Amino acid sequence: AQPDTTVYHERWRPQVHFSPKAHWTNDPNGMVYSNGTYHLFFQYFPGGTTWGPMHWGHTISKDLIHWQEQPVALYPDSLGYIFSGSAVADVHNTSGFGKGGKTPLVAIYTNHDPKGEHDGKNDFQNQSIAYSLDEGKTWTKYSGNPVLKNPGIRDFRDPKVNWVETVKKWIMTLATQDHITFFSSPDLKNWTKESEFGKTLGAHGGVWECPDLLAFDHQGKKVWVLIVNINPGGPNKGSATQYFTGDFDGHTFTPGDSITKWIDYGADEYAGITWSNTGKRHVFLGWMSNWMYANEVPTKTWRNAMTIPRELSLVKENGHFYVSSLPVKELQASATTVSRRTNLKANGDVYMCTAPLYLTMKADELKDFTMSFHYGAGAELVIGFDKASNTWFIDRTTTGEHGFNKEFAARHTAPRIATGKGLELTLVVDETSVEMFADHGVITMTDIFFPNAPLQKISITADKELLIRQWQLSKLKSIWK
Ligand code: FRU
């Protein structure tokens, strides 16, 4: 089915980000690449625009940018709601679900039993599996569910499963309250506990949720990254995505340092994880909201959207590994350049523009600057860098509607981690969101906002010495047209 163009043009509807046609969404789930198609499942409540009994919604894309929503993939069952999890292409048919040479897609998710939530046993979240032999169109739940029973831990959820070649097993990374527990399996059905990680490391201002484990090649050596979402306790309050860098030997994760690192410092990237079966490419996508106010944001027919898919890579700053995020290159295919300039003194410049847009800016030396996005009637979104405190910031205090929650109107900051001298910035600005990728993505910040008028122009106030080497402003085509 082609996207319905009347629906996707309501007020505040993201134009370059996936949001379901109607109703509530939270976490991305089961992201898997199979036969040229990117699958994105998502926490979905088809019965309303606030969180409710969870289903897995489903959407597909050939290019990570244009999405075609599919029928709901997984419905609640006798074991409970369908909470977050992952999916893999079981190419060696280790599960035995494959028939007639067909590779099964296997979804591994949490069954959350709302009836068991208050019986004191704390064992109401269990891991289950389902498989599809028709590229995700229809799913069969395994008769032996749950495949991993809860020993009595209140928060026991969000399995992310990867094939780990060194041990030739599936490894499940599971969020277990205030730490991660790793399990292994030869067949996705029988799981053995391997180890625990993180009780005394990282941020602990809230519950650990939605983890991911991935490996990068760095100068011939593998460096492992363990992603752990946490709610609340993020650097700018509420939900956020932290990560650890280190080593995983197939059994145990050993951190390389004790620094608390964040994939995204903004208020509105959460539950982010990566696609399975993309080879060496690591494509990350998060939910573009925050549990502080996700149920209250002022959209009417749908609630919440996903971030732009981001390519992750590993960089070293000050002797430590960090993950950098940048919008996937596929986004640029729908960009038309409207202004390209070199060697300009930025201070005082004004650019007329509309959303959605894609902007890149480079300078040899990073100095104070403030970029204001004007929405009419004095409303603006302000982003920039403050040299005195060495911080990046996004300020949405006056960007539009914020009365729905007292935490919403705020200025968010992120420390500068990169040690280079230069300025390098990429921005993706949609109708109701900004994603800022600073210092080649080492610092990323995502914020949503609800302006009452369309974007009109950008103005820059900067240190008089700031010389922009390259400036490129592009218009992005709506993905729903
Ligand atoms: C994270 C989360 C997950 C859970 C899901 C429920 O946002 O709380 O831990 O599986 O949402 O919808």
Q: Is 27 a catalytic site residue?
A: yes
- Output the six-digit token pair for 479: 């993905």
Reported confidence tier of residue 3, pLDDT bands at 50, 70, 90: low
The DSSP 8-state label assigned to residue 243 in this structure reads E
The pLDDT of residue 454 is 96
**Mean pLDDT for the chain overall:** 96
At 355 the three-state DSSP class reads: coil
- Is the pLDDT score of 481 beyond 90? no
27, 158, 268, 430: the catalytic one is 27
Q: Which atom of ligand 1 is nearest to the CA of 83?
A: 10
Please identify, by atom number, the ligand 1 atom nearest to the C-alpha of residue 27: 7
Report which protein residue has its CA nearest ligand 1's atom 8: 209
For residue 280, report the distance from its CA to the centre of ligand 1, in Å.
27
Q: In b/e form, how buried is each residue of 302-323, taking b as 16+ CB within 10 angstroms?
A: bbbbbbbbbbbbbbeeeeebbb
Asked if residue 141 has pLDDT above 80, the reply is yes
Taking the CA of residue 43 as reference, the ligand 1 atom at the shortest distance is 12
Q: Which pLDDT score is estimated for 259? A: 97
Determine the atom of ligand 1 nearest the C-alpha atom of 54: 12
The Cα–Cα gap between 236 and 233 comes to 8
Grade residue 40 by pLDDT with cuts at 50, 70 and 90.
very high
Q: Which tokens belong to 322?
A: 């960090």
Cis peptide bond N-terminal to 232, omega within 30: yes
- For residue 23 the two structure tokens come to 């109703």
pLDDT at 320 over 60: yes
Pocket test for ligand 1, best of 157, 176, 230, 239 (most atoms within 8 A of CB): 157
Which of the four pLDDT bands, split at 50, 70 and 90, describes residue 6?
A: confident
Q: What is the pLDDT, as a whole number, of residue 468?
A: 95
- Closest Cα to atom 6 of ligand 1: 83
Question: 323-362 pLDDT, tens per residue?
Answer: 999 999 999 999 999 999 999 998 999 999 999 999 999 9
Q: Which atom of ligand 1 is nearest to the CA of 209?
A: 9
ipTM: 0.99
Mean pLDDT across the stretch 140-169?
97
Q: What is the pLDDT of residue 7?
A: 81
Q: What percent of the chain has pLDDT over 70?
A: 99
The DSSP symbol for 277 reads S
Separation of CA 29 and ligand 1 centre (Å): 10
DSSP single-letter state for residue 334: G
Across 17-26, average pLDDT = 98
Q: Is 415 helix (H, G, I), strand (E, B) or coil?
A: strand
* Span from the CA of 27 to the centroid of ligand 1 (angstroms): 7
Average pLDDT over residues 308-315: 98
In this prediction, residue 377 carries a pLDDT of 87
The tens digit of pLDDT for each residue in 363-418 reads 999 999 999 999 988 999 999 999 999 999 999 999 999 999 999 999 999 999 99
The Å distance, Cα 70 to ligand 1 centre, comes to 21
Q: Where are the beta strands (DSSP E) in 46-132?
A: 55-61, 68-74, 81-89, 105-112, 125-132
User: CA–CA separation, 308 vs 435, rounded Å?
Assistant: 8
Instruction: Out of 24, 42, 43, give the residue to mutate to test ligand 1, the one with the largest number of ligand atoms within 8 Å of its CB.
Output: 43
- pLDDT one-digit tens code per residue, 194-245: 999 999 999 999 999 999 999 999 999 999 999 999 999 999 999 999 999 9
C-alpha 102 to ligand 1 mean position (Å): 31
Structure tokens that stand for 205 in this block: 């201002």
pLDDT value of position 4: 57
Query: String of b and e for 142-156 (b: at least 16 CB within 10 Å)?
Result: beebbbbebeebebb
Q: Locate tokens 């070199």: which residue?
A: 342
Residue 1's nearest CA partner among 60, 42, 44, 55 is 60
CA–centroid distance, residue 363 to ligand 1 (Å): 40
Q: What is the mean pLDDT of residues 457-464?
A: 96
d(CA 324, CA 309): 13
Who lines ligand 1 at CB under 6 A?
Answer: 26-27, 43, 54, 83-84, 110, 157-158, 209-210, 271
Residues whose CB falls within 8 Å of the CB of residue 433, separated by 6 or more in sequence, listed in order: 14, 17, 268, 288, 305, 446, 447, 448, 449
pLDDT of residue 2: 53
